[in-house]
């Protein structure tokens, strides 16, 4: 019984490991500059961003870096749509 449990746990660990590595590769892929800064520029706070404290700016940059929709965000920016940020943006509350 314990060997079956051990095999099941090992299989689960392998599956989780592959999922983690796939996500890590997607996150660490260099896919250009963050769209956060053009969004901030659209907000008219660039280049000084004085109304954002450094902790908030760091959190916003981290959220943007880990977001899986950067290409969609860049397309939204290029389209010239009005609004402060796309509705799916993880930084909507900041922007």
**Residues 23 and 37 occupy one common structural domain:** no
Whose tokens are 């907000």? That residue is: 43
> What is the Cα–Cα distance from 60 to 42, expressed in whole angstroms?
15
* Contact yes or no for 91/85 (Cβ under 8 A): yes
> What is the Cα–Cα distance from 41 to 19, expressed in whole angstroms?
35
Domain with 6, as residue range(s), is 1-30
Q: What is the pLDDT of residue 40?
A: 80
**Residues 54 and 69 occupy one common structural domain:** yes
Q: Which residue has the higher pLDDT, 34 or 51?
A: 34
Query: What confidence tens digit (pLDDT) does each residue in 36-49 have?
Result: 888 887 766 545 55
Record the pTM. Answer: 0.61
Task: Kindly tell me if the per-residue pLDDT of 92 is higher than 70.
Answer: yes
Three-state DSSP at 25 gives: helix
**Residues 37 and 25 occupy one common structural domain:** no
Q: What's the whole-number average pLDDT of the chain?
A: 82
C-alpha angle 78/43/52, rounded to 5°?
A: 130
Structural domain count of the chain? 2
**Residues 21 and 40 occupy one common structural domain:** no
């Amino acid at each position: 019984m314990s060997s079956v449990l051990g095999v099941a746990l090992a299989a689960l660990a392998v599956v989780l490991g592959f999922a983690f590595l796939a996500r890590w590769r997607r996150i660490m892929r260099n896919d250009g500059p963050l769209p956060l800064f053009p969004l901030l520029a659209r907000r008219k706070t660039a280049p000084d961003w004085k109304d954002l404290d450094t902790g908030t700016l760091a959190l916003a940059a981290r959220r943007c870096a880990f977001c899986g929709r950067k290409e969609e965000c860049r397309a939204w920016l290029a389209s010239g749509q009005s609004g402060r940020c796309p509705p799916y943006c993880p930084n909507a509350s900041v922007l």
